[in-house]
Chain A
Amino acid sequence: MTGRLRRVRVRYRKGMDTLKTLRFRYDLKIEFSAPVTHHSFTVKCVAQSDERQQILRQDVRILPKEFLSQNQDSFGNSYIFGRTDPEHDLFHVTAEGLARTGAVESTAAGEGYQQGMYLAQTPLTWPGPNLRHLFDVLGRYGRDDTLERSLRFQMGLRERFSYEKGSTGIGTTAEEALAQGHGVCQDYSHILLSLCRQAGIPCRYVVGMLIGEGASHAWVEVLHQGRWYGLDPTNAVRVTDSHIKISHGRDYNDCLINQGVFTGSAAQKQSVSVQVYEEQEKGSDVI
């Protein structure tokens, strides 16, 4: 679901002084090899405003549809569900809009005792011998705070794991990916989640978009002093003003961009294209 970021301008410092206006377009196409009917779907590709990112405008289109309904899931993500009964062989979702980032780099979390679900390992992040060993190497020393510690895990991971497209699948666990030594953004994120959770740091999986990426991207948020901070282990950077977040959850499975059931026997081909670029007229009124 991702390509590797080659060159990207990301600030490495905490303070940010200028706001960025990002124009984004998310495009998801599912092509069916034969017509399908009674297609129920849930789409989680709607970015929401929070302290770090302000969504100035967003236009989501889903075709074909019979009815559409919108709600928030248990993690706080916006989602759209609906159904289309007549025969169709293409399902097409687009979301385009403008986001403003750069004000702050973190978002407020609820009470600490309410974040326990982000502390529990999931089947995708469950540590086996490789992850436990990596945690022993990286995690058993230091008196650093949770954010510094998470960044240390991220740096440590960078040295031991390399990017390789197509080498893992959507069901690959963190343990499996680490054992083979390479993977994509989803695997980087799951490994980092597993390490942070072994260290007792609540953390969550994030799906979003990034400048220079052609597909959707995944990263991690860790809880530090009552706030969520984004870490992008694939690029070994902190999340500042070039990322647009779509959703978060305990792991990949909580953030599926598209889910569907339908009647008909057809193979599905999914293609995603994402474009994010900085708006030239910085600061102008775009609403």
Chain B
Amino acid sequence: MDMMESLDLFERTDVVNSLLARYGVKFGIYKNNTFHEQLFPFDAIPRILSVQEFEYLEKGLRQRVDALNLFLWDIYNKKHILRDKVIPEEFIYASSGYLAQCEGIQPPKAIYSHISGIDLVQGKDSEWYILEDNLRVPSGASYPMIARELCRRSSPRTFQAISVADNRAYADLLKRTLEHVNTGGLTVVYTPGRYNAAYFEHSYLAEKMRVPLVTCSDLEVENDRLYFKDYSGKKEQVGAVYRRVSDDFLDPMNFRQDSLIGVPHIFDVYRKGNVALVNAPGNGVADDKGIYYFVPKMIEYYLEQEPILHNAPTYLPYYRQDMEYVLEHFDSLVLKDVAEAGGYGVTFGSSMTAGQKEEFLRLIKSEPRRFIAQEVIDFCDLPILEKGGKVDRKADLRAFVLSGEETVVWKSGLTRFSRNPDSFIVNSSQGGGFKDTWVLNQ
């Protein structure tokens, strides 16, 4: 870090941000029911991971994602983990991410989570903790990818002086991952459309992979297969769909009937094994905040290994002794509603008024499965540039793990930070910014 001070990258933050604006690096948000595009503020001070640190994370992340993929196959097929009572059944069937429609389906190569976004934080004790697994449609890889491109342009000296693993090959890695499960035909990126929050990412990844970006109107099912409709009326078979449309809206014939962005029968073709849907539908059962508690147990169960990376200390009020602990230490815990995502449904015991607390305790007792409680981790803050100086902010790391022929951890990641000095919430939808994540070559 000291060495970096002498280089000119930090002075070039504004240049990088103006280049990000030039390339339309934005995310969409809805305010008062109207769509706005917002720039995603970039901070030039990178998160730096040493070779050793990355290797440690890599081992732990591969282990975790491998176990999650085995779990997903097991849950939708044999259910041995339920037979052996490692996870109580009701945590599966009451989870909104569990989709009975996926029972018995064999996704190509038995991969469910091809692209996993695993959120981690580093504590002040320098220990890494897993905060959340995102196995549905995790987004964010495009931001450090393009930021790196623009940083290299803005400050070549920095990259001459410091040897950083190139992260721009993400598109090739992603394409290989998609082609590994392709059942024959085109690979496409399927977006809900331009008014989706992550539309920039959808279009950017399609561009970099050199594959078509499609919406529902470009796809059609006929005779057990999925086709891309060409302007000339020609139909090309599609073998892999990197779909950025959520399960609910994917197919009006199998999920929400009111979906206008779905492709009728796409799920029926997938059921027949004639197309790969990436990620597989039904993954929500494995990244539920309630299931999170059980991931270390899955690693032991399926891989017969000790988990390398740890969860944040978590309590399930479902278990009596955990409930007692939660009631006793309420003020020092953070409480999360399993059904909510994106930083919503997170409350700190210490910040509640007496009335709110009473109400919450009543809720937790009547619906114990709905909540998890976690120790508040003393985050290792990261510096950001502000008004010519540096200030510390909360930050997390979203690591991208791609499961294809083998499980690979991308040598980078999205580091998000909170804008507000007192906030623990780093989601872009709540006003945070991002940093590049560097993995050093030596």
Contact = CB atoms under 8 A, between A and B. Distances in A.
Q: Classify A-B as touching or not with yes or no (CB < 8 A).
A: yes
Interface of A: 40-42, 66-67, 69, 71, 73-75, 81, 83, 111, 113-114, 116-117, 119-120, 249-250, 254, 259, 261
Interface string B67-110: 00000000000110011000001101110001011111100000
Contacts of A73: 101, 271
Given A69-B223, A259-B253, A120 B94 contact: yes
A230 B65 CA distance: 42
B221 A83 contact: yes
B93 A261 contact: no
B222 to A, nearest CB: 6
A116 B104 contact: no
B271 A71 contact: yes
Contact of B79 (A42, A81, A114, A261): A114
Nearest to A112: B83
A66 B104 CA distance: 28
A83 B101 CA distance: 21
Nearest to B264: A40
A113 B79 contact: yes
B272 interface: yes
B28 interface: no
Identify the 7 closest CB pairs spanning chains A and B, nearest first. Answer: A120-B93, A40-B264, A74-B103, A116-B89, A113-B83, A113-B82, A67-B223
Interface of B: 78-79, 82-83, 89-90, 92-94, 98, 100-105, 221-224, 252-254, 257, 264-265, 268, 271-272
A6 B271 CA distance: 42
A97 B224 CA distance: 26
Contact of B100 (A81, A114, A117, A119): A117
A259 B257 contact: yes
B142 to A, nearest CB: 32
A111 B82 CA distance: 11
25 contacts: A40-B252, A40-B265, A42-B265, A66-B222, A69-B224, A69-B268, A71-B268, A71-B271, A74-B101, A74-B105, A81-B253, A81-B265, A111-B83, A113-B89, A114-B78, A114-B79, A116-B93, A117-B93, A117-B98, A117-B103, A119-B89, A120-B90, A249-B100, A250-B100, A259-B257
A42 B253 contact: yes
A112 to B, nearest CB: 9
Contacts of A67: 222-223
Contacts of B89: 113, 116, 119
Given A71-B272, A83-B221, A117-B100, 17 more contacts: A66-B222, A69-B224, A69-B268, A71-B271, A73-B101, A75-B100, A81-B268, A83-B265, A111-B79, A113-B79, A113-B83, A114-B82, A116-B79, A116-B82, A116-B92, A120-B90, A259-B257
Contacts of B271: 71, 73
Nearest to B92: A116
Contacts of A114: 78-79, 82
A83 B102 CA distance: 22
A81 B83 CA distance: 34
A40 B264 CA distance: 7
Contacts of A261: 252-253, 257, 264
Nearest to B83: A113
A83 B94 contact: no
Contact of A74 (B79, B104, B221, B252): B104
Nearest to B222: A67
A117 B95 CA distance: 11
A39 B93 CA distance: 33
Contacts of B82: 113-114, 116
A116 B105 CA distance: 17
A247 to B, nearest CB: 13
A83 B93 contact: no
A74 B100 contact: yes
A83 B268 contact: no
Contacts of A111: 79, 83
A256 B98 CA distance: 20
Contacts of B78: 114
Contacts of A42: 253-254, 265, 268
A180 B210 CA distance: 60
A41 to B, nearest CB: 8
Contacts of B223: 67, 69
Nearest to A39: B264
Contacts of A116: 79, 82, 89-90, 92-93
Nearest to B263: A40
Contacts of B272: 71
B253 A119 contact: no
A116 B82 CA distance: 9
A250 B257 CA distance: 18
A111 B84 CA distance: 13
B97 to A, nearest CB: 13
A69 B264 CA distance: 13
B441 to A, nearest CB: 48
A249 B101 CA distance: 10
Contacts of B265: 40, 42, 81, 83
Contacts of A83: 221-222, 264-265
Nearest to A74: B103
Contacts of B221: 40, 83
A151 B224 CA distance: 43
Contacts of A250: 100
B94 A40 contact: no
A119 B103 CA distance: 15
